[in-house]
Amino acid sequence: MAFRVRSPCQPSKIVSLYLISLTLVSVLNTTFGERELKFVTLVYRHGDRSPIKAYPTDPYQESAWPQGFGQLTQVGMKQHFELGQTLKRRYKGFLNETYDRHQIVVRSTDCDRTLMSAEANLAGMYPPNGSQVFNPDLKWQPIPVHTVPLDEDRLLTFPLPNCPRFDVLLNETTKTETFLNMTNRYKDFIEMLRNKTGLKDASVESVWSVHDTLYCEKLHNKRPPHWVTSDVMEKLRKLKDFSFQVMFGVYKREEKSRLQGGVLLAQILKNITESAVSGSKKQMKMMMYSAHDTTVVALQTALNVFSGRQPTYASCHIFELYKEDDGFFSVAMFFRNDSTKEPYPLTLPNCTQYCPLQDFLRLTNPVIPENWEAECRVPSGLKEKEVIIGLIAFALLLFFLIGLLLFMLCRQQDAKNSYRHVINEADDNS
Ligand SMILES: *[C@@H]1O[C@H](CO)[C@@H](O)[C@H](O)[C@H]1NC(C)=O
Ligand SMILES: *[C@@H]1O[C@H](CO)[C@@H](O)[C@H](O)[C@H]1NC(C)=O
Ligand SMILES: *[C@@H]1O[C@H](CO)[C@@H](O)[C@H](O)[C@H]1NC(C)=O
Ligand SMILES: *[C@@H]1O[C@H](CO)[C@@H](O)[C@H](O)[C@H]1NC(C)=O
Ligand SMILES: *[C@@H]1O[C@H](CO)[C@@H](O)[C@H](O)[C@H]1NC(C)=O
Ligand SMILES: *[C@@H]1O[C@H](CO)[C@@H](O)[C@H](O)[C@H]1NC(C)=O
Ligand SMILES: *[C@@H]1O[C@H](CO)[C@@H](O)[C@H](O)[C@H]1NC(C)=O
Ligand SMILES: *[C@@H]1O[C@H](CO)[C@@H](O)[C@H](O)[C@H]1NC(C)=O
């Protein structure tokens, strides 16, 4: 619980750290050998869950789900247990087989399903062995998962709240041609949805929840109403994927990213850079974030590697920091969104799969906020006018005070002179 979010990372700090690392690298330039893994950052989505809500005419309301809405199911637990086992294999020889608290930090959003996903994942990753077994009947050991309250989370819960400039950008997005086109194309479909679901405010942006509900119900063998054909599901899926893009992309992607995914990216790159700088002194090897589809989309949109499809359950974005045989560092990214396949390599645009750290920092710099609070502020016309009037009044007052001061000083000087004159005269007299 002591895990605190710091304010968004200042790029100047990253740059100076990077400069230090460059000097280090030139010193270590004589090292030869293989590409060596140094540090891993994971950002994953929770596993399979019950729907977040039901639509008004839905035959399956909250009581149809064993733990109610938005909860991790046993399918979800298995998905994360499996991901944990995969990570254990992937990082064999890098991480200790047994849990070592100096090597890994886990942070989750403060939601039941993400906390439970992290726990299921760690159960797959660190089954106790030897001296770590505390109960012979239990292939499990406790491992800490840190979190902060949702309303204080400025890292993993998206969209990040209290950012007026982002609200303005979202509003402007709904006026773009892309958005209006989509709204137009699906007008009749949305009208039909309104009628069938009983949702009064159904729109391109809000239908994602209808898809989400029907999708969860289908996965859990709950028979859908007659109007839900495969064509309807396909249209709903397209609209839902589009709603993720509307949120973080479509319009002014870079500026939106500075206010959203760039905040998380800044923290991740800060840690990666610190790890490169500190070399082998640091024992920390893995940072693990348990979060949501929106977290993964915000991050991947900031990196400009988002495929446009909603991240699947337990999908995992991987950053790996390597030390190349010439002593320089590189960052490779992967996305594991299919348990039957090797993770997909993701390449930062204009870089290579093993992107030199210096290039990675330079290419992502446009989406790293310098001062999140300031960038989120909206200049209101009225306020600006008030500030200018205030400044003019202040300048006039200052001008007047300086004038007054000069005048008084002159007067004092005159008085002193005449006083000295008197004293001098007195001196003469004595
Ligand atoms: C981790 O592995 C290293 C090398 O194998 C070993 O020296 C160290 O004791 C291990 N740490 C723990 C906590 O098991
Ligand atoms: C437990 O450790 C022993 C010895 O280090 C090893 O041979 C065995 O495979 C480990 N078992 C598991 C389940 O990891
Ligand atoms: C978008 O901005 C306009 C003014 O530019 C305002 O009238 C409208 O209410 C805003 N819409 C939303 C959804 O905030
Ligand atoms: C909008 O739709 C029209 C036709 O439906 C198409 O020609 C045009 O390219 C679309 N514009 C955008 C920005 O998607
Ligand atoms: C849907 O449309 C039908 C026929 O127009 C109407 O009878 C029904 O009340 C509508 N349902 C809702 C929920 O609006
Ligand atoms: C990464 O950042 C967190 C704080 O956000 C810190 O606790 C952790 O030690 C950092 N890890 C490294 C390797 O710098
Ligand atoms: C998995 O991720 C890759 C790379 O982003 C993407 O091309 C693919 O469509 C994704 N698969 C699914 C099922 O989302
Ligand atoms: C990638 O390189 C091309 C050509 O050099 C340039 O036009 C583009 O803006 C670059 N993109 C990024 C993300 O830097």
Of 225, 185, 189, 181, nearest to 207 (Cα)? 189
109 and 172 together in one domain: yes
Residue 392: its pLDDT value, please?
A: 75
Q: Could you say which of 354, 376, 398 is where a domain stops?
A: 376
The ligand with the least distance to the CA atom of 99 is 1
d(C-alpha 49, C-alpha 65), whole Å: 10
CA atoms within 13 A on the CB side of 130: 4
Cis peptide preceding 159, ω within 30 of 0: yes
Whether residue 4 lies inside any domain: the answer is no
| Ligand 4, pocket-test mutation among 181, 186, 238, 245, most atoms within 8 A of CB | 181
Q: How far is the CA of 58 from the centre of ligand 5 (A)?
A: 15
Whether residue 167 lies inside any domain: the answer is yes
The answer to whether the CB of 121 falls within 8 A of the CB of 44 is yes
The answer to whether the CB of 292 falls within 8 A of the CB of 45 is yes
Of 347, 174, 181, 186, nearest to 252 (Cα)? 174
Q: How far is the CA of 109 from the centre of ligand 7 (A)?
A: 24
User: What backbone phi and psi angles, to 5 degrees, belong to 159?
Assistant: -70, 145
261 and 339 together in one domain: yes
Q: Is 335 in the pocket of ligand 7 (CB under 6 A)?
A: yes
Residue 116: its pLDDT value, please?
A: 97
Percentage of residues in the chain having pLDDT higher than 70: 85
Residue 23 has pLDDT above 80, yes or no: no
Residue 382: its pLDDT value, please?
A: 56
Residue 352 has pLDDT above 70, yes or no: yes
Confidence of residue 78 (pLDDT cuts 50, 70, 90): very high
Contacts of 167 (CB under 8 A, 6+ apart): none
Alpha-carbon separation of residue 175 from 38, 302, 357 (angstroms): 45, 22, 38
Q: Is 29 in the pocket of ligand 2 (CB under 6 A)?
A: no
Of all protein residues, the one whose alpha carbon is nearest to atom 9 of ligand 5 is 195
Q: How far is the CA of 350 from the centre of ligand 8 (A)?
A: 6
| Ligand 5, pocket-test mutation among 57, 58, 190, 195, most atoms within 8 A of CB | 195
392 and 299 together in one domain: no
Residue 415: its pLDDT value, please?
A: 56
Q: How far is the CA of 220 from the centre of ligand 5 (A)?
A: 28
d(C-alpha 125, C-alpha 82), whole Å: 9
Of all protein residues, the one whose alpha carbon is nearest to atom 4 of ligand 1 is 96
The ligand with the least distance to the CA atom of 205 is 3
Residue 148, Cβ density class (10 Å: 0-12 exposed, 13-18 middle, ≥19 buried): buried
Tens of pLDDT, residue by residue over 129-151, are 989 999 999 999 999 999 999 98
d(C-alpha 109, C-alpha 101), whole Å: 20
364 and 396 together in one domain: no
Q: Could you say which of 376, 395, 415 is where a domain stops?
A: 376
Q: Is 337 in the pocket of ligand 7 (CB under 6 A)?
A: yes
312 and 394 together in one domain: no
Residue 418 has pLDDT above 60, yes or no: no
Residue 54: its pLDDT value, please?
A: 83
5 versus 107: the higher-pLDDT residue is: 107
Q: How far is the CA of 3 from the centre of ligand 6 (A)?
A: 10
Q: Using DSSP, state whether 428 is helix, strand or coil.
A: helix
Terminal-to-terminal C-alpha distance of the chain: 83
d(C-alpha 385, C-alpha 387), whole Å: 5
pTM above 0.85, yes or no: no
229 versus 289: the higher-pLDDT residue is: 289
CATH of the domain at 27: 3.40.50.1240
Find tokens 């390599």 and name the residue: 345
Residue 191: its pLDDT value, please?
A: 87
Q: Is 307 in the pocket of ligand 7 (CB under 6 A)?
A: yes
208 versus 418: the higher-pLDDT residue is: 208
Q: Within 6 Å (CB) of ligand 6, which residues are found?
A: 105, 267, 271, 274-275, 282, 284, 287
When the pLDDT of each residue in the chain is averaged and rounded to a whole number, the result is 84
The answer to whether the CB of 65 falls within 8 A of the CB of 49 is no
User: Can you give the residue range of the structural domain that contains 73?
Assistant: 11-376
57 versus 384: the higher-pLDDT residue is: 57
Provide the number of structural domains found in the chain. 2
Q: Is 339 in the pocket of ligand 7 (CB under 6 A)?
A: no
Whether residue 45 lies inside any domain: the answer is yes
Whether residue 40 lies inside any domain: the answer is yes
Q: Is 350 in the pocket of ligand 8 (CB under 6 A)?
A: yes
Confidence of residue 387 (pLDDT cuts 50, 70, 90): low
Residue 133: its pLDDT value, please?
A: 93
Q: How far is the CA of 374 from the centre of ligand 3 (A)?
A: 22
Whether residue 330 lies inside any domain: the answer is yes
The pair of structure tokens assigned to 254 is 């870079």
The ligand with the least distance to the CA atom of 279 is 6
Of 354, 367, 375, 369, nearest to 306 (Cα)? 367
The mean pLDDT of 119-138, rounded to a whole number, is 94
Q: Which residues are catalytic?
A: 46, 293
The mean pLDDT of 216-231, rounded to a whole number, is 87
The mean pLDDT of 59-73, rounded to a whole number, is 87
Whether residue 3 lies inside any domain: the answer is no
Residue 224: its pLDDT value, please?
A: 85
Residue 407 has pLDDT above 90, yes or no: no
Confidence of residue 399 (pLDDT cuts 50, 70, 90): confident
The pair of structure tokens assigned to 189 is 């479909």
Residue 413: its pLDDT value, please?
A: 64
372 and 396 together in one domain: no
Residue 291: its pLDDT value, please?
A: 96
The answer to whether the CB of 323 falls within 8 A of the CB of 296 is no
Tens of pLDDT, residue by residue over 188-214, are 888 888 888 888 887 777 788 889 898
Residue 280 has pLDDT above 70, yes or no: no
> Which segment of 79-83, 182-186, 196-200 scores lowest on mean pLDDT?
196-200
